[in-house]
Structure 1
Amino acid sequence: MSSPLFGIVPAGQPLITEPASTPSPTSLLYSLPTTKPFSHIVVFMLPGVALPPGTAAAIYLATAADVAASGSAPNFKFLGAIGPGKESAMFKVTAGESGLMIGVSVEAEDAIAGQLQTLAANKASNPGAASSSQPSTTVLAQHIIQNAFNFLSSFSGAAGPGGVEVVPLKAFEDWWRKFESRVRSDPSFLEKQSD
């Protein structure tokens, strides 16, 4: 595995193709940046990459502190897999102060299929675990509307025809540009916004 095989993109961060280390011929370890917060990562096979027949790439997660504390055998959590027919996947992660490490291991498809079944069963038996920390779509929509209203209300005051307050379209365009910029710099800011 001398040339890059996989790409990793933490939301709002640059593409990572070079592993921090290669613990074995079939395993790669990537260190994710801690410069800006992110809540999702995308892992994908680079164009032209073909895995050996009967294999797929298992994706694992560990904190940098776990890796340092346990030396050569950190406690990695299985996130999912990519391979032929599913060349990319997105995962929700929680970036800690110590940073995150992503492990990519080329393994037999059968072994990965078993891990995927276990992962699906765990999610099915504990459906509230993943969603309890995430606000609902309704709450996120309310936060977006509240953000827009707060910004646009600063332009109100001039009554138009019929006594209705009018906000210039340029004000909405300005809000949208600022909103998109903020989402790019911190994709989870709406989740943190208080009700």
Structure 2
Amino acid sequence: MFAAIASGNPLQLSTEVPNSNNLQHTIVLSSTKPKSYSHITTFILPNVTFPAEFAGTVYFKLSPAEEFKFFGYLSAEKPSAIFKVRMPNLNVSAATEPGDGLGEIDMDDEIPGEASTSGNISEIIIGISIEPIDQAILKAQELKSQQNPPVSSTSLVVARGNPTAVTNPGELAKMYPLVTQQLAARIVKHAHNYLTGFLDPQGNVPIKCFDNWWNKFKSRLQMDAQFLNEVTED
């Protein structure tokens, strides 16, 4: 029903927890070996029809002995989530803002049994529980309302960092590299769709047409940036 993939590693499918009536699933990323950081994507498989009134709440832990910690949810409207992984001994502190999955799993302390200089994670366990979507949204809101919770040893903390600290495109791209790529691709595609209507026989476009597109694009962006979700990158 679900799957996860860590960058540089193969796709791994979920398995149903025995006697859970198909309501609980786990994914073990035992071959995950990121460098200083990596990305983990969780998603609902394309052939699965997920009921709109339910959500798959997503939990993480680093070993079977730990308790799962909630980070967000998957649903019919949000079938995937991306997490950035920070490695141990980086001594990173970050604010907490979960919910959409575009955040960080911050492993701030050394993992028991792992050498502090190894730079690898031996195992990440993902738990997904199917629950009413109202409960999932409530959990996400409660987690989002927590400000700077204490980070215990080997805990995983979803963090975006401070969005007000982003002052230029480079910082934004560094914080959200995948989303930045998607944004750039959609802006380019939007410009291409507009400008192809003004091609001359030689395949050129007057610069005035580009200026017109840019002015219209900026105006629409201010009114409703959600229109970019409708632009396909292909």
What is the TM-score when the length of structure 2 is the normalising length?
Answer: 0.46
Counterpart among 24, 27, 39 of residue 30 in structure 1: 27
The structure 1 residue matched to 2:69, chosen from 67, 77, 84, is 77
Question: CA 1:12–1:56 in structure 2 vs 1: closer, same or farther (change >3 Å)?
Answer: same
What are the residue-to-residue correspondences of 1:153-192 with 2, within 5 Å?
A: none
**Corresponding position of 1:120:** 144
Is 1:11 matched up with 2:4? no
State the 4+ residue runs in structure 1 displaced beyond 4 angstroms: none
Q: For the residues of structure 2 that align with 1:16 and 1:105, how far apart are their CA atoms?
A: 17
Q: Deviations over 1:131-180 (max 9, x none)?
A: 39xxx855x97xxxxxxxxxxxxxxxxxxxxxxxxxxxxxxxxxxxxxxx
Query: What corresponds to 2:43 in structure 1?
Result: 44
Q: Quick one: distance in 2 between partners of 1:18 and 1:59?
A: 12
Task: State the distance in 1 between where 2:143 and 2:48 align.
Answer: 26
Note if contact 1:39-1:94 (Cα within 8 Å) is conserved in structure 2: yes
- 1:19-70, Cα deviation, whole Å (9 max, x unpaired): 2x51422111111033521522111111121223521100100112xx1x3x
**1:110, distance to aligned residue in structure 2 (A):** 1.2
Secondary structure (helix, strand or coil) at the match of 1:117 reads: helix
Distance 1:34 1:42 in 2: 15
1:62 and 1:35 mapped to 2: Cα distance? Answer: 13
Alpha-carbon separation, structure 2, partners of 1:78 and 1:62: 9
SS of the aligned residue for 2:26 comes to strand
Task: Evaluate the alpha carbon distance shift between residue 84 and residue 53 of structure 1 in structure 2; reply closer, same or farther with a 3 A threshold.
Answer: closer
> How far, CA to CA, are the matches of 2:11 and 2:72 in structure 1?
20
The one-letter code of the counterpart of 1:101 is: I
**Per-residue deviation, 1:9:** 0.8
| Alpha-carbon contact 1:79-1:91 (below 8 Å) kept | no
Give the 5 Å matches for 1:87-166. Answer: 87-94=79-86, 97-122=121-146, 125-126=147-148, 130-131=160-161, 137-138=170-171
Q: Which whole-Å CA distance do the structure 2 matches of 1:118 and 1:100 have between them?
A: 24
**Higher RCO (CA 8 Å, separation ≥ 6 residues):** 1
One-letter code of the match for 1:31? V
- TM normalised by structure 1 equals 0.54
Where structure 1 has 5 or more consecutive residues not aligned to the other structure, the ranges are 142-195
Identity of matched residues, %: 34
Equivalent position amino acid for 2:30 in 1: P
Larger radius of gyration: 1
Comparing both structures, which one devotes a greater share of its residues to helix?
1
Question: Alignment length, in residue pairs?
Answer: 124
